[in-house]
């Protein structure tokens, strides 16, 4: 769960070009503004994948348990 997702997010954040951060810094953006307005739009696809996986795990467990515990 969490370790794999953290590892994937770290890898995805590493693909964000440093030049975008540097150009925002040159334009006068602070650290907080650079992080919240530059990074999230670029990593939104991976955040969506993580959210989908977070939903599919418990849902898959529910399907399996409802199949195994059904009444005959």
Q: Per-residue confidence at 7, pLDDT binned at 50, 70, 90?
A: very high
Please list, in sequence order, all residues whose beta carbon lies within 8 angstroms of the beta carbon of residue 9, skipping any fewer than 6 positions away. 43, 46, 50
The predicted pLDDT at position 38 comes to 87
Q: Domain extents for the chain?
A: 2-68
Which DSSP string do the residues of 8-60 spell out, in sequence order?
A: HHHHHHHTS-HHHHHHHHHTT--HHHHHHHTHHHHHHHHHHHHHHHHHHHHHH
pLDDT per residue as tens digits for the range 26-47:
999 999 998 888 888 899 999 9
pLDDT grade for 65, boundaries at 50, 70 and 90: confident
Give the tens place of pLDDT for each residue, 42-63.
999 999 999 998 888 888 888 8
CB 14 within 8 A of CB 70: no
């Amino acid at each position: 769960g969490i370790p794999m997702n953290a590892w994937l997010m770290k890898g995805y954040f590493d693909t964000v070009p440093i030049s975008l951060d540097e150009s925002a810094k040159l334009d006068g953006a602070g650290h907080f503004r650079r992080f919240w307005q530059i990074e999230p739009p670029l990593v939104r696809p991976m955040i969506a994948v993580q959210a989908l996986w977070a939903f599919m795990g418990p849902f898959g467990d529910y399907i399996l348990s409802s199949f195994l515990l059904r009444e005959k």
